[in-house]
Structure 1
Amino acid sequence: MVLISQRIFLETIKKYCLAHDIAIEIRSGGWLLIMTRGNERRLAIGYDIGLNSAVAHQVANDKSACADVLASAGVPALPHTLVLGAKLSKHIPGSDSLDAIQLLLDRHPLGLVVKPNAGTSGELVFRVTTRAQLETAVARILAAHPSLAISPYVEIEDEVRVVLLDGRALIVYGKTRPSVVGDGVHSLRALARAATTEDQFKIITTEHDVAALDAIPPLGERRLLNWRHNLDAGAEPVLLADGAAREACVALAIRAAQAVGIRFASIDVVRADGAWKILEVNAGVKMEALGRRHPELVEAAYGSALDCLFG
């Protein structure tokens, strides 16, 4: 397991501070950073270096609120419906109604995606197609989080992350989901076990039923192992070349950042049914997976943000 102190984010900031005569205090196991240069004192927590306003940060970290803000600004985005847990539902009567949630499921035959309203890293994200699955997902999430968000499931053809600073794209990369190619002999389970880490394999086994895992893919047939483009679940970052797709994603990400009023963010753009839409806006810019492949790009991106932070 990678220790917090070994995060690429932390190591990059330490390197920047050393090069710019900035004193740095590392607290909370590396989760909180206190940076000081002369009379200037700056804080970074998690993956947020402190460039964004409190409101922009909170809106970006609230999936349903962010979707509402984007819709209000006319920015194409996947809708997210808020569902509150027992402690909060009294403030919005009916917001915890399973019957109301069932109506969403009835309107979307491909199913729903249920996830924490303020979660990250793809934890506790479920695709549901039945009421029983829906109730289980809601119960599991609300046992750990005060609220959740529900969006219609769509077949995502491509997912692209745009790292923006003050309306300028610093890095643009796609997320390639893990896959295997059938050999006509081994089951999907065996192929997946050989091609993934133990943690990734555990995630994959929850994404497929037993029959699908035990089936033997035909020789030469490629099978995706995950319906999510999540880097922590095994997807690989691939830099996006110049072209129409890159231009479209950057333009849409800039519109989303302007709508939220956020300066430094990583914005996920997805292509579904041939159209690009915003999936999420992330105030914490996490580039651990990309940093293992392109450390110079990640260092330059964080460096640009820190240049702005220290003027």
Structure 2
Amino acid sequence: MEELNNKRMLVKILDELSSEMNFEIQFLSEDWITMIRCNQKVHYIYGYEWGINSSTSQLIAKDKEAAYEVLSMNHINAMEHKLFFNYHWQSKYTGKKGCWAEIMRYVQAHQSENDYRIVCKPNRGTGGNDIYRITNQWDLEYAVQKMFSKYRDLCLCPYYEIENEYRAIFLNGEILLLYSKERPYVTGNGKDNLVTLVLDKYKEKGVSFLTNLDGELDTVLEEGEQKNISWKHNLGKGAKAVIVKDDDLRNRLNEFVNKVADVLDITFASIDVAVIGGEFYIMEVNSGIMIESFARQQPDTDYNYYELTKDIYRKAVSYLLQH
């Protein structure tokens, strides 16, 4: 077999499972397409999309505004997302009225004193990429121009004060994995400033966090004082996965996630839940099951993250082969 794409954990795990579960496997298009053959049936995995969900459910999940609209209509808490088309597409679909006036109305509706409280992101993006926190007019113009140079549309959403964020990997009525996303942070020692604390803990990776600390770089934290150094909860952006062990919390999240899955008619999904004002809100729903950063995280004393990831994919393959 040709050398597998060493950047994708999914490829490595599926190759291992093919031997353990006795199915034939073939990787195509530089390992981006996986063909699974078993009992004279053929199944395909395209990127991180499995042939488990309907195409409609998959498209709704990928579309942040669509998912918000469907969930809200069904009285499920979800973080608001408002869609705006790139001007190249605007005239084709909605006429030539443009979208800037509507963008400004939306932003000003979420203004606090002199600061905007808005986040700008791709409507179909993942992994925390190209997400901008907007606090002023310059931020807004920069982000919108940047986004429209790359995407056909964008989403604006209010900036929420998120108390905690959880990710649930869901398959056919069951949460296979549930963890919280612990944002990057440093702990003060009473003498070193934030620059020193960040670079000591995160080394070269810490440089990217310094832009989040504008005006605070020389601050010295008290002994034991903790400070978050990023507003993003993405594992690929430095956050840490912490397995949820609290049974009551697991049960409440399981009930909430199942309601979401029922409304979206989705069977296999990665569902992000934010805690805002003590209430659960859907942040986004991903039909593409990407667990790469989680699998690469160093195992703690109780869990091996690679084996947990492998078990999820094992169950997904079993479901795929049975349907």
Q: TM-score range by the shorter chain?
A: over 0.9
Q: How far has the Cα of 1:197 moved from its partner?
A: 5.0
- 8 Å Cα contact 1:182-1:222 kept in structure 2: yes
1:130 matches 2:112: no
Partners of 1:187 and 1:216 within 8 A in 2: yes
Match of 1:239 in 2: 243
More deviation, 213-222/93-102? 93-102
Number of the residue aligned with 1:208:
213
Partner of 1:256: 260
Flag the 1:252–1:188 CA change in 2: closer, same or farther, 3 A. Answer: same
One-letter amino acid of the counterpart of residue 315, structure 2: S
* Offset at residue 248 of structure 1 (A): 2.1
Query: Which position in structure 2 is the counterpart of 1:53?
Result: 54
Answering whether residue 170 of structure 2 is matched by residue 159 of structure 1, we say no
| SS of residue paired to 2:133 | strand
Q: TM-score with structure 2 length normalisation?
A: 0.89
Contact conserved, 2:87 with 2:99, CA < 8 A, in 1?
Answer: no
Inter-CA distance 104–197: structure 2 relative to 1 (3 Å threshold): farther
1:17 aligns with 2:1: no
Answer yes or no: is 1:42 the counterpart of 2:43.
yes
Contact 1:17 1:24 in 2 (8 A): yes
Greater shift in the superposed pair: 66-75 or 217-226 = 217-226
The answer as to 2:11 corresponding to 1:7 is no
Distance 1:96 1:161, change over 3 A: farther
Paired residue type of 1:41: V
Task: Tell me how far 1:282 sits from its aligned partner.
Answer: 0.5
What's the offset of the Cα at 1:92? 2.7
1:202 to partner: Cα distance: 4.2
> Which residue is 1:301 aligned to?
312
Shift of 1:22: 1.8
In the TM superposition, residue 185 of structure 1 has moved relative to its aligned partner by 2.7
Check whether the contact 2:85–2:99 (CA below 8 A) recurs between aligned residues: no
Deviations 1:202-250 (A, max 9, x none): 43133232x2223333333211011111111111111101333222222
The CA distance in 2 between the partners of 1:192 and 1:21, in whole Å, is 47
Q: Does 1:284 align with 2:288?
A: yes
Do the aligned partners of residues 51 and 214 (structure 1) sit closer, same or farther apart at CA in structure 2, a change above 3 Å counting?
same
Secondary structure at 1:16's aligned position in 2?
helix
Aligned 8 A contact 1:160 1:173 in 2: yes
Counterpart in the other structure of 2:302: none
Whole-angstrom CA distance in 2 between matches of 1:197 and 1:40: 49
* Deviation of the 1:173 alpha carbon: 0.7
SS in 1 for 2:167: strand
Note the residue ranges of structure 2 that are not aligned, 5 or more in a row: 300-304
* Counterpart position of 1:92: 94
Q: TM-score, normalised by structure 1?
A: 0.93
> Which stretch shifts more, 153-162 or 295-304?
295-304
Q: What RMSD, in angstroms, separates the aligned Cα atoms of the two structures?
A: 1.8
Which of 161, 169, 177 matches 2:175? 169
Give the alignment of 1:134-145 within 5 angstroms: 134-145=140-151
1:82/1:95 contact within 8 Å kept: no
The within-5 A match list for 1:186-205 is: 186-198=192-204, 200-205=205-210
Percent identity at matched positions? 30
8 Å Cα contact 1:237-1:289 kept in structure 2: no
CA distance in 1, matches of 2:122, 2:192: 36
Instruction: For 1:183 and 1:61, locate their aligned partners in 2 and report how far apart those are by CA, in whole Å.
Output: 43
SS in 1 for 2:140: helix
Distance 1:94 1:302, change over 3 A: farther
Q: 1-side partners of 2:217 and 2:108: how far apart?
A: 28
Matches within 5 A, 1:211-226: 211-226=215-230
Please state how far the C-alpha of 1:6 moved relative to its aligned partner: 4.2
- CA contact 1:252–1:278 (8 Å) conserved in 2: no
Kindly indicate whether the alpha-carbon contact (under 8 Å) linking 1:5 and 1:30 is maintained by their aligned counterparts in 2.
Answer: no
Aligned to 2:321: 310
CA separation in 1, counterparts of 2:30 and 2:102? 42
User: Quick one: structure 1 residues 229 and 95, their matched pair in 2 at CA, closer, same or farther if it must change by over 3 Å?
Assistant: farther
Distance of 2:94 and 2:223 partners within structure 1: 54
Name the SS of the counterpart of 1:11 in structure 2: helix
Counterpart residue number, 1:148:
154
- Of 10-19 and 170-179, more deviation after overlay is shown by 10-19
- The one-letter code of the counterpart of 1:167 is G
Distance 1:95 1:42, change over 3 A: farther
